Amino acid sequence: MSTKVIDISINEVTKEFATGIFKKKMAVDKLTLDIPRGQIVGLLGANGSGKSTTIKMILGFLKPTHGQIFVCNQPAGTRQSRSLIGYLPENPRFQKFLRGEYILNYYGRLYGLGGKQLTQQTDHMLDLVGLKHARDERVGGYSKGMTQRLAIAQALMNKPKLLIFDEPMSGLDPLGRMEIRDLIRAIHDGMPETTIFFSTHILSDVEALCSSVALLKKGVLKTACEINQLMVQDGQFFSIVVTGLNQTLENKYRAEHGAATTSLGLSFNVESVDMLTARLSEISRAGGTIVSVNTQRRGLEEILFSDRKNVNFQFPQQAAGGA
Amino acid sequence: MNSLRIAWVAIQELLHEKVSYLLIGFALFSLAMSMVFGQMTYGEQAKLTLDFMLGATQLSMLLFSIFMGISLFQKELSMGSISMILSKPISRASFLLGKYLGQICMQFLITWMMGLMTCLFCLRFGSGSFSAAAVFQTVTLIAWEAAIITAVTYAFAVNSGAVVTSLGAASIFFIGHGRDTVSSNLKETSDLIVWNSAKTVLPDLEIFNMKALASYSQSIEWNEFFLASCYGTVCVAFYLSLAVLFFSRRDIAT
For residues A118-136, give the mean pLDDT: 90
Contact B251 A62 (CB under 8 A): yes
B101 to chain A, minimum CA–CA distance in Å? 17
Chain B contact for A197 (CB, 8 A cutoff): no
B124-175 per-position pLDDT tens digit: 776 667 788 888 999 999 999 999 999 999 999 988 888 999 999 999 999 9
Contact A92 B5 (CB under 8 A): no
A247-262 per-position pLDDT tens digit: 888 899 999 888 888 8
- Taken in order of first residue, the domains within chain A and their CATH numbers are 6-231 (3.40.50.300), 236-304 (3.30.1490)
pLDDT of res. B125: 72
How far is the C-alpha of B90 from the C-alpha of B92, rounded, in Å? Answer: 7
A209 to chain B, minimum CA–CA distance in Å? 24
Residue ranges in chain B whose pLDDT is less than 50:
none
Q: Are B102 and B9 in contact (CB under 8 A)?
A: yes
Residue B226, classified by CB atoms within 10 Å of its CB into exposed (0-12), middle (13-18) or buried (19+), is exposed
**Structure-model confidence comparison of residues A300 and A261, the more confident one:** A261
The amino acid that residue B232 corresponds to is G
A27-82 per-position pLDDT tens digit: 888 889 888 888 899 988 888 888 999 999 999 999 999 999 999 889 988 999 99
Give the chain A residue whose CA is nearest to the CA of B77: A93
- Find residues 24-83 of chain A whose CB sits inside 8 Å of chain B: 56, 59, 61-63, 79-80, 82-83
pLDDT of res. A303: 60
How far is the C-alpha of A101 from the C-alpha of A136, rounded, in Å? Answer: 6
For chains A and B, CB pairs below 8 A equal 72
User: Which residue among B16, B80, B89 places its CB closest to the CB of A97?
Assistant: B16
Contact A87 B81 (CB under 8 A): no
| Residue A310 reports pLDDT greater than 80 | no
Band (pLDDT 50/70/90 cuts) for residue A317 is low
| Residue A321 reports pLDDT greater than 50 | no
Chain A contact for B2 (CB, 8 A cutoff): yes
3-state secondary structure chain A: CCCCCEEEEEEEEEEEEECCCCCEEEEEEEEEEEEECCCEEEEECCCCCCHHHHHHHHHCCCCCCEEEEEECCEECCCHHHHCCEEEECCCCCCCCCCEHHHHHHHHHHHCCCCHHHHHHHHHHHHHHCCCHHHCCCEHHHCCHHHHHHHHHHHHHCCCCCEEEEECCCCCCCHHHHHHHHHHHHHHHHHCCCCEEEEEECCHHHHHHHCCEEEEEECCEEEEEEEHHHHHHHHHEEEEEEEECCCHHHHHHHHHHHCCEECCCCEEEEECCHHHHHHHHHHHHHCCCEEEEEEEEECCHHHHHCCCCCCCCCCCCCCCCCCC
Average pLDDT, chain A: 85
Enumerate residues 6+ apart whose C-beta is below 8 A from B34: B49, B52, B53, B55, B56
What is the strand order of the sheet A236-243 is part of?
A260-261, A266-270, A236-243, A289-297
Contact B2 A106 (CB under 8 A): no
Query: Of B22, B158, B178, B51, nearest to B100 (Cα)?
Result: B158
| Residue A232 reports pLDDT greater than 80 | no
The amino acid that residue B25 corresponds to is G
Cα dist from B126 to A248, A258, A303, B35, whole Å: 114, 100, 85, 11
For residues A203-226, give the mean pLDDT: 84
Chain A contact for B87 (CB, 8 A cutoff): yes
pLDDT of res. A21: 79
pLDDT of res. A313: 53
Contacts of A154 in chain B (CB under 8 A): 84
Where exactly are the structural domains of chain B? 2-249
| Residue A322 reports pLDDT greater than 70 | no
Q: Are A147 and A171 in contact (CB under 8 A)?
A: no
Contact B87 A92 (CB under 8 A): no
Q: What phi and psi values does residue A304 have, to the nearest 5 degrees? A: -70, -35
What is the strand order of the sheet A6-18 is part of?
A24-36, A6-18, A66-71, A74-75
| Residue A160 reports pLDDT greater than 70 | yes
pLDDT of res. A23: 85
Contact A110 B81 (CB under 8 A): no
Rg (CA), chain A: 25
Query: Of A63, A82, A60, A69, nearest to A163 (Cα)?
Result: A82
**Structure-model confidence comparison of residues A108 and A309, the more confident one:** A108
Average pLDDT, chain B: 86
For residues A109-122, give the mean pLDDT: 90
Of A3-7, A68-72, A166-170, B142-146, least confident by mean pLDDT is A3-7
pLDDT of res. B93: 92
Q: Are B99 and B6 in contact (CB under 8 A)?
A: yes
Of A88-92, A222-226, A299-303, B68-72, least confident by mean pLDDT is A299-303
pLDDT of res. A130: 87
User: Which residue among B5, B86, B252 places its CB closest to the CB of A106?
Assistant: B5
Pairing of strands A236-243, A260-261: unpaired
User: Which residue among B12, B87, B253 places its CB closest to the CB of A87?
Assistant: B87
- Find residues 62-81 of chain B whose CB sits inside 8 Å of chain A: 79-81
User: Which residue among A61, A80, A98 places its CB closest to the CB of B83?
Assistant: A61
| Residue A323 reports pLDDT greater than 50 | no
Contacts of A96 in chain B (CB under 8 A): 16
Give the chain A residue whose CA is nearest to the CA of B91: A79
Chain B contact for A107 (CB, 8 A cutoff): yes
B152 to chain A, minimum CA–CA distance in Å? 23
Give the chain A residue whose CA is nearest to the CA of B72: A95
How many other C-beta atoms are found inside a 10 Å radius of the C-beta of residue B1? 12
| Residue A213 reports pLDDT greater than 90 | no
Strand partners, A269: A239
How far is the C-alpha of B62 from the C-alpha of B33, rounded, in Å? Answer: 18
Contacts of A82 in chain B (CB under 8 A): 87-89
How far is the C-alpha of B84 from the C-alpha of A292, rounded, in Å? Answer: 55
| Residue A299 reports pLDDT greater than 50 | yes
- 3-class DSSP state for residue B186? coil
Contacts of B5 in chain A (CB under 8 A): 106, 109-110
Interface with A, mutate which of B14, B20, B87, B250 (most A CBs under 10 A): B87
CA angle B186, B192, B195 (to 5 degrees): 100
